[in-house]
Amino acid sequence: MNHLSAELTQVAAVAAKPPLLEVQNLVKYYPGRGVWPRPRPIKAVDDISFSIGYGETLGLVGESGCGKSTAAKTILRLIEPTAGRILLEGTDVASLSPTQFRPYRRDLQIVFQDPYASLNPRMRAAEIVAEPLRNFSRGKAVDPERVAELFERVGLDKAAMRKFPSEFSGGQRQRLGIARALALKPKLIVCDEPVSALDVSIQAQVINLLQDLQQDLGLSYLFVAHDLAVVRHISQRVAVMYLGRIVEIGPVGTLYTQPRHPYTKALLAAVPKIGAQGAREKTLLKGDIPSPAHPPSGCTFRTRCPMARPECGHSAPALQAQGEGHWAACHFIGAEAPTAGSALRAPADTAVAPSASAAP
């Protein structure tokens, strides 16, 4: 059995079980600014659906400003969703009041991007790790042995328990953040670009730590990142976001070797390669990501897509099955891309109501 077949078998086994987390038609809009004309809402997350199985890592990738961090924080209800359902083991936690949701916070934790800004500089390391335990202790004393165990679990010396965050290196601070996330024995950890602020060698150590913890504790991860090489190393499946929508999702090996959406192809073509790994088809992108307050009509990617046709401005493409567990949203998947330098043939924007995305 080759590597790709083994991966598909693993993904199919995860898909056969009820998911730990299921996100259905999640929407997060922010109110627009201004008075006249009537401001349009800022569509940070615009109708996305996906699921995460027990012990699985789903990578969420895209350019800066695509909405991936907003989606992650909305799932944790650090940001309240505008619409949609967030099912944790079958319970819609998006519909719960803050008091009703509190017990579920134990199961949903986060590791933030900046390992220094996410830690209280006035608290010692042991206090930082013990804080979640204290918040959920219901008056009981925090067991110091539990705190020491968490330090050992993430590779920090017990002598570091009395240090302040400023006395740690960047990698050590991120390990401290991981220990804090583990304190309540969660089922799902959202990793919001947890290694982007670290040196490459330290990135590898933190990624290996996360993988070891997943294997030992059965954790599930939503791994948010813009570094596709890191995502490929840690994820079983990958979802690609563009301007608030998921444009492709599938098993990591299939998506990296057989990308279907032109945006995914462009992201992969931009990944630096060392040595001869075969020629990859180049997909050229023009311009910047449009404003989420004024997204293009129809397919939001059409203003930068080398495959754009006039029809792309008329309706938003739904996710279509491309194989086992592989979905992509494009009107012209499989069509031959125009040659470099050819003009985009996109129509002027017209008001089109967004359609609901398919749930992969």
Q: What confidence tens digit (pLDDT) does each residue in 309-332 have? A: 888 988 899 999 998 999 999 988
CATH architecture, domain 3-117+181-254: 3-Layer(aba) Sandwich (3.40)
- pLDDT of res. 36: 62
Closest CA to 344 of 315, 304, 299: 304
**Per-position DSSP letters for 134-201, written without gaps between them:** HHTSTTPPP-HHHHHHHHHHTT--GGGGG--GGGS-HHHHHHHHHHHHHTT--SEEEEESTTTTS-HH
User: Which of 28-37, 55-64, 286-295 is most confident?
Assistant: 55-64
Examine the pLDDT at 12 and tell me if it is beyond 90.
Answer: no
What residue spans in the chain does CATH classification 3.40.50.300 cover?
Answer: 3-117+181-254
> pLDDT tens-digit profile of 41-64?
899 999 999 999 999 999 999 998
User: At 2, is the pLDDT very low, low, confident or very high (cuts 50, 70, 90)?
Assistant: low
- pLDDT of res. 279: 53
Question: Residue 354 and residue 352: Cα distance in Å, rounded?
Answer: 6
